[in-house]
């Protein structure tokens, strides 16, 4: 295998990659600068960890151990959701679990666990993705608590896409984004209130909801939970999908208002009009 030779000595591959002039590489348009710079940085991270995986930064000084198979999820610098991780981690101290609804590979559960040392519950209904979530949590020294159910309005079942590799999956009812041959899976649905709104239930400190357009169904199944515990809430609103999924925007906005949060805003502290929003927005409630 080729090894670079400098001044008559063979460098360790990690040293070689650490010597890459990334700024010069970025300027090299004929190399496709940005793409090659990302590949070089990703390779450097992999070699630094002796080929076992990656160590990208979630936020502040909190890094994530990521298995090699999830190389497509790698990023450079802080994760784009770092402000949301911080917001959730800032939940008042004390007892309380974090509900990671639509956990995917578990980034939010890892961020919460390493920043607060408090328990999590990850809900990821697609079996292959749930298995990846467990693997990521275990790789970060966290005891995985992953349920393969979809939070919803009622008990029942629904059909989701089942794309592999930790891809975002969505309701099969969103026909404009579900092409022929897309793998599908039937999953169980259940309301969060069944577990967290009853007497003697575990306290809930924070909730993240990212369910690709099904946000209202999750909220309607968690009304008692949210009103009882008033958890910090991060809600990724896939507003562009709402019309096709027949989401009642007025009902959504009224429900958020009914929870009585003192602060409701977008990720940059901007006001959000849920009745008119046409793109994905993050709603932060505290």
Domain boundaries of the chain, sorted by first residue: 12-73, 82-285
Which of 13-27, 145-159, 192-206, 263-277 has the least mean pLDDT?
13-27
pLDDT at 47 over 50: yes
Q: What is the pTM of this model?
A: 0.87
Mean pLDDT of 201-207: 94
pLDDT at 220 over 80: yes
The whole-number pLDDT of residue 16 equals 43
49 vs 66, residue with greater confidence: 66
Which of 65-69, 174-178, 247-251 has the least mean pLDDT?
174-178
- Structure confidence at residue 1 as a pLDDT band (50, 70, 90): very low
pLDDT at 4 over 60: no
- Structure confidence at residue 200 as a pLDDT band (50, 70, 90): confident
d(C-alpha 125, C-alpha 102), whole Å: 8
Class level of CATH domain 82-285: alpha beta
Q: Which helix (H) or strand (E) segment is 124 a member of?
A: none
The whole-number pLDDT of residue 273 equals 95
- C-alpha distances in angstroms, 7 versus 10, 11, 15, 285? 8, 10, 14, 59
Q: How far apart are the first and last CA of the chain?
A: 55
pLDDT at 268 over 50: yes
Contact 281, 237 (CB under 8 A): yes
Mean pLDDT of 253-257: 97
pLDDT at 14 over 50: no
Which of 26-30, 39-43, 102-106, 172-176 has the least mean pLDDT?
26-30
**Six token digits for residue 87:** 């917001």
Mean pLDDT of 199-221: 94
pLDDT at 8 over 70: no
β pairing state of 280-285 and 264-266: antiparallel
Nearest Cα residue to 98 out of 168, 145, 139: 145
**Six token digits for residue 239:** 């507003």
């Amino acid at each position: 295998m080729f090894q670079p030779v400098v001044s008559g000595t063979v460098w360790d591959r990690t040293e070689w990659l650490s010597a890459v002039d990334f700024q010069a590489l970025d300027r090299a348009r004929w190399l496709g600068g940005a793409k090659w710079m990302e590949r070089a940085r990703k390779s450097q991270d992999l070699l630094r960890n002796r080929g076992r995986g990656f160590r990208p930064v979630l936020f502040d000084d909190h890094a994530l151990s990521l298995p090699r198979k999830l190389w497509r999820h790698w990023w450079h610098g802080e994760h784009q959701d770092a402000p949301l991780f911080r917001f959730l981690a800032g939940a008042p101290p004390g007892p309380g679990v974090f509900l990671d609804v639509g956990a995917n590979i578990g980034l939010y559960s890892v961020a919460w666990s390493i920043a607060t040392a408090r328990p999590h519950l990850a809900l990821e209904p697609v079996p292959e993705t749930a298995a990846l979530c467990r693997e990521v949590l275990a790789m970060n020294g966290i005891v995985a608590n992953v349920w393969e159910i979809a939070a919803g309005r009622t008990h029942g079942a629904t059909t989701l896409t089942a794309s592999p590799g930790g891809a975002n999956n969505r309701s099969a009812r969103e026909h404009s984004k579900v092409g022929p041959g897309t793998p599908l899976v039937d999953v169980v649905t259940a309301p969060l209130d069944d577990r967290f709104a009853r007497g003697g239930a575990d306290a809930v400190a924070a909730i993240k909801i990212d369910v690709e357009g099904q946000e209202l169904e999750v909220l309607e199944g968690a009304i008692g939970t949210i009103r009882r515990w008033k958890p910090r809430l991060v809600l990724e609103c896939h507003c562009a999908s709402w019309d096709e999924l027949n989401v009642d925007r007025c009902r959504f906005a009224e429900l958020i208002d009914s929870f009585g949060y003192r602060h409701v805003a977008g990720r940059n502290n901007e006001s959000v009009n849920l009745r008119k929003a046409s793109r994905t927005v993050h709603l932060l409630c505290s």
